[in-house]
Structure 1
Amino acid sequence: MMTVNEVSKLTGVSIRTLQYYDKIGLLAPAEYTGAGYRLYDDAALEKLQQILLFRELEFPLKDIKEIVTRSDFDKRKALDQQIGLLELKKEHIENLIDMCKGLKLRGVRKLDFKAFDISKIDEYAKRAKEQWGKTPEFKEFEEKDKNRTDSEKADMMADFMKIFEEFGAMKEQDPASTRPQAQVKKLQSYITEHFYHCTDEILFSLGKMYAGGGEFTENIDKMGGEGTAEFVYQAIKVYCGK
């Protein structure tokens, strides 16, 4: 048996993260001491390794929890995918090293950006997620979406983004006030009706994604003005009691 402190030192995972994994039911210790301290056996360490592998594939924790607790979870398949991804990352790093060595020898007269191309890594991770990401929500979305025409899909997404435009019109208000909270409920209901059953937990995860930067944040801010994505997230936090 290993203590939480020993596991943290062995794996590089912080004690706080291990405690959080236990709290959300992702990785429970093998047992607790009489004083309430966590103890981990080999089986728990093996599961932690699986979790960390899926984190490398950039899966959200809620999906990892669903995957590693499946009765049909294929450890060998997961490991093969992880090896493939790491090999692609290794190739990418080696290309960057070669480029830097070339720059050191020849200067910057010949500009070459191929070493920065990570499309193969992104595509591999995408395929892995498609294989493992068959959550109930994903299956529900597939079922609802399979008979929609392109026109219907476009109209649906336009209506969806309209919700964020409406959020933008109220972003100067307190996110806990009546109108923003009613708008969050509208957002949740729309997702449930058109995509998949949107629980408060899923809604909160979406809120973090909306405000987390990148394409989601940019698109929402384009609809409602700068700061809309963050305002939506804050309103969702209140709605979900976070």
Structure 2
Amino acid sequence: MKVKEVAELVGISVRTLHHYNEIGLLIPDETTDAGYRIYSDENLETLQQILFFRELGFPLKKIKEIIDSPSFNQQEALEMQHKMLLKKKRRLDQMIGTIEKTIQHAKGEIQMTNQEKFEGFDFSHNPYEQEAREKWGDQAVDEANKIAKNMTAFDQEKFNEVFRNLAAIRHLSPDSKEVQEKIREWYHFLNNMGNYSLEAFKGLGQMYVDDERFTQNIDQFGEGLAKFMCTAMGIYAEKNQK
């Protein structure tokens, strides 16, 4: 099948298929002398796998890693996707029920408890967590999760104070004495709340620039602060390794 035919069959754009080809995610098995890309049945099976993963929220980079892995097994992948989609369906069914009850509640037809108003919501699973663990290591992610879970209003203000102080000196070199002193304080402050090795501390700094959620939260104290802290934390870790 040609690109346009596949796009019409599946319901995605030709541009999307071209993009998948460009990043090496889905390369057509054949190309005619006229330059037309021809997709085989095996290509369509791979495309189905890709779209299942996309429906489950997997980023394209991760999908490519999974499919390109020598250990990839299509049958096992389908069974895993089936289980994950069923779990997603059950949660969506519960949320639909919550919405329907809320509509009735708003009309005065029924009364809902506060607990019933939030049935179906589940924020316990972070879809980016596995990718974060692969990039930055288990310790950096575990400590970040523990700190976030146990954060108090006082702790949050201390965090904000650190960010404000570092934002005020981000015009200096990250390896300057003044900056490194503030980063040392940051390292010890984090270790009073958790247990960061120097390697995990460096990994945390990398999270500040690789994860846009960290970047946005930190850069609200000063544009470019996340990148500045990442560099400074990396320098501190390297200088203090035994």
Q: CA RMSD in A?
A: 4.3
Q: Is the 8 Å Cα contact of residues 56 and 85 (structure 2) preserved in structure 1?
A: no
* Matched ranges for 1:115-154 at <5 A: 115-119=119-123, 122=125, 130=130, 138=134, 141-142=136-137
Residues 150-161 of structure 1: pairs in structure 2 closer than 5 A: none
State the number of aligned residues: 179
- Return the alpha-carbon distance in structure 2 between the equivalents of residues 100 and 26 of structure 1: 38
Shift of 1:32: 1.2
Distance 1:167 1:50 in 2: 49
The percentage of aligned residue pairs carrying the same residue is 33
| In structure 1, distance between residues paired with 2:31 and 2:169 | 49
Please show how residues 42-81 of structure 1 align to structure 2 within 5 Å: 42-81=41-80
Structure 1 unpaired stretches of 5+: 171-178, 180-189, 233-242
Match of 2:118 among 114, 117, 120: 114
Larger Rg: 2
Where in structure 2 are there 5+ consecutive unaligned residues?
Answer: 148-158, 174-197, 228-242
**Contact (CA 8 Å) 1:168, 1:228: kept in 2 or not?**
no
Inter-partner Cα distance in structure 1 for 2:95 and 2:202: 43
- The TM-score normalised by the length of structure 2 is 0.56
Say which SS state the counterpart of residue 214 (structure 2) adopts: helix
Aligned position for 1:22: 21
CA distance in 1, matches of 2:168, 2:71: 42
Question: 2:217 maps to which residue?
Answer: 219
Distance 2:13 2:168 in 1: 37
Task: Write the distance in 2 (CA, Å) between the matches of 1:195 and 1:21.
Answer: 30
Give the equivalent residue in structure 2 for 1:36: 35
Shift of 1:29: 0.6
Secondary structure of residue in 2 paired with 1:113: helix
For the 8 Å contact 1:8–1:14, the answer to whether it is kept is yes
Per-residue CA deviations over 1:60-98 (Å, capped at 9, x if unaligned) read 222221210111112222222211221122222222332
How far the C-alpha of 1:219 sits from its partner, in A, is 2.4
Q: Residues of 1 paired with 2:77 and 2:168: CA distance?
A: 40
Cα 1:96/1:66, change in 2 over 3 Å: closer
Deviations 1:20-70 (A, max 9, x none): 111111110111122212110111111111112222232222222121011
Distance change in 2, residues 1:24/1:82 (3 Å): same
Aligned positions of 1:140-219 closer than 5 A: 141-142=136-137, 165=166, 169=170, 194-195=202-203, 206=210, 209-210=211-212, 215-219=213-217
- Aligned match of 1:175: none
Q: Which amino acid aligns with 1:71?
A: P
- Output the TM-score relative to the length of structure 1: 0.56
Would you say 1:90 and 2:89 are equivalent positions? Answer: yes
Match of 2:6 in 1: 7
Give the C-alpha shift of residue 15 in structure 1: 0.8
CA contact (8 A) 2:102 2:117 kept: no
